Homo-oligomer: A and B are copies of this chain.
Amino acid sequence: MAETTRNTPWRLAQRAERLNPSVIREILKATEQPGIVSLAGGLPSPDSFPVQAMREACARVLADAPHEALQYAASEGFGPLREWVVAQLAATGLAATASQVLITSGSQQGLDLVGKMLIDAGSRVAVEAPTYLGALQAFAPYEPDFVTVDCDDEGPLPQALGAAAGARFLYLLPNFQNPSGRCMGAQRRLALAEQASRLGLPLVEDNPYGELWFDAPPPPPVAAAAAGGAIYLGSFSKVLAPGLRLGYVVAPPALFPKLLQAKQAADLHTPGFNQRVAYEVIRSGLLDTHLPQVRARYKAQRDAMRAALQLHLPPGCRTTVPAGGMFFWVELPEGLDASALLPQAVAAGVAYVPGSPFFSGAARANTLRLSFVTVAPALIEQGVAALGQVLAGALEKDFA
């Protein structure tokens, strides 16, 4: 493969311009040094992975159905796993049939397929502010114009949905949102669904964190009340393990065939081996004992971070306590720039993700995201203390 960089004959598609190196990836690389407490990553605690159950499940699948597990498989996904998803959704209040469930290679792929089938260049796509960066990255190559809907601590305001008029869809993450940690209340969900239906605005609801609640499960999905129809996305990454790359899309019957064809074109099917192993792990009811342990672990770490933030954040910072999920969202006093402060924080031994990349439009530079799931309570305390010192120093300098 000689001489490929000079006189290159390659011409990129226009959409390639909409892709950029992930800011977060670059931050994570920079902070993977020993001695840095990283509150930046969104990685689940590896201690939460059900390794022993995985071991048994792999052995069982390769003993009982090795040829089926290792052969090409249906693009829709493994039947029993699709049925399992339906039962789980029913328990949350969302009625669907297995024929509406498409197993994907992580819910990130679900976002890609949705973008591929619904977004033309110049289409309006409505999002929250802030919103999940991975969704912006999945949709961006299809060249939409992003429209931001005004939000409060619960998410989008129903009376603000007019801004999304004519959009191909509104992308929502109602449960313990990444990055804000916020959770939408039951009344807000109903009001949003009703207003979206009135406006003829389709909904794409993403729920990677819903099972990670600390005190009570979140209200039923917005999709359950969406008379106009909704696409619903879920993931096994946070309840089992992300390294399996398993997620799913639940689509209205009118849309399902197109998403399925897009899935076939994209990678034929999600690994059958992984689907069968995951199903073996969960069919026995492992999640009934496993999830309470994960919730208890993350709740304790949430509590540790809450206490540390109360103790160490300088006055003028604002944060709300997440009732589940993985993240605290911190608003610094106006005038502070979280991106500009990151090198100082890393020098002081702590890393975070600045909030700016999570805004599709005007970014709020004085915001940042802290993850409480990856490191243990003692390190959380240490990291937040370092962050507090950096912020206090910046405030002194700023307002001196």
Contacts A66-B49, A109-B267, A261-B19; is A229 near B13 (CB within 8 Å)?
A: no
- A272–B250 Cα distance when bound, in Å, is 25
- A118–B269 Cα distance when bound, in Å, is 23
- In the complex, are the beta carbons of A25 and B264 less than 8 A apart? yes
Contacts A19-B261, A266-B109; is A9 near B245 (CB within 8 Å)?
A: no
Choose, from A68-76, A291-299, A341-349, A389-397, the stretch at the interface.
A68-76
Whether A399 sits at the interface, judged by CB under 8 Å, is no
Looking at the complex, which one of B46, B59, B118 makes contact with A58 (CB distance below 8 Å)? B59
Name A49-76 residues within 8 Å CB distance of B. Answer: 49, 51, 54-55, 58-59, 62-63, 66-73, 75
- In the complex, are the beta carbons of B243 and A1 less than 8 A apart? no
Would you give the shortest CB distance from A247 to chain B, in whole angstroms? 9
15 contacts between A and B (CB under 8 A): A1-B94, A1-B95, A2-B95, A2-B227, A3-B227, A4-B252, A8-B252, A13-B118, A16-B117, A19-B262, A20-B261, A55-B62, A72-B237, A108-B268, A267-B267
Name, among A105, A250, A254, the residue most crowded by chain B CB atoms within 10 Å (CB to CB).
Answer: A105
Residues of B within 8 A of A9 (CB): 200-202, 228-229
- In the complex, are the beta carbons of B51 and A96 less than 8 A apart? no
Residues of B within 8 A of A116 (CB): 13, 15-16, 141
Looking at the complex, which one of B25, B59, B62, B271 makes contact with A244 (CB distance below 8 Å)? B271
Residues of B within 8 A of A88 (CB): none
Name, among A22, A49, A243, A271, the residue most crowded by chain B CB atoms within 10 Å (CB to CB).
Answer: A243
Identical copies of this chain, number: 2
Residues of B within 8 A of A8 (CB): 228-229, 252, 254
- A11–B254 Cα distance when bound, in Å, is 11
Residues of B within 8 A of A55 (CB): 58-59, 62-63
11 new A-B contacts, CB < 8 A, other than A15-B120, A21-B261, A71-B243, are: A1-B229, A4-B252, A4-B255, A8-B229, A9-B202, A10-B255, A19-B258, A71-B241, A72-B243, A105-B105, A137-B264
Would you give the shortest CB distance from A280 to chain B, in whole angstroms? 12
Residues of B within 8 A of A16 (CB): 116-117, 258, 262
Closest to A112 in B: B266
Closest to A232 in B: B1
Whether A14 sits at the interface, judged by CB under 8 Å, is yes
Closest to A106 in B: B267
- A201–B10 Cα distance when bound, in Å, is 8
Whether A323 sits at the interface, judged by CB under 8 Å, is no
- In the complex, are the beta carbons of A105 and B5 less than 8 A apart? no
Residues of B within 8 A of A108 (CB): 265-268
- In the complex, are the beta carbons of A265 and B13 less than 8 A apart? no
- In the complex, are the beta carbons of B265 and A137 less than 8 A apart? yes
Looking at the complex, which one of B62, B63, B117, B253 makes contact with A4 (CB distance below 8 Å)? B253
- In the complex, are the beta carbons of B58 and A51 less than 8 A apart? no
Name A204-246 residues within 8 Å CB distance of B. Answer: 223-224, 226-230, 232, 237, 241-245
Name, among A1, A237, A267, A273, the residue most crowded by chain B CB atoms within 10 Å (CB to CB).
Answer: A1
Residues of B within 8 A of A265 (CB): 19, 108, 112, 137-138, 140-141
Contacts A51-B66, A250-B1, A258-B12; is A264 near B22 (CB within 8 Å)?
A: yes
Closest to A169 in B: B10
Closest to A241 in B: B70
Residues of B within 8 A of A267 (CB): 104-106, 108-109, 112, 245, 267
Closest to A72 in B: B242
- In the complex, are the beta carbons of A10 and B118 less than 8 A apart? yes
- A68–B43 Cα distance when bound, in Å, is 11
Residues of B within 8 A of A270 (CB): 105, 245
Closest to A104 in B: B267
- A137–B94 Cα distance when bound, in Å, is 33
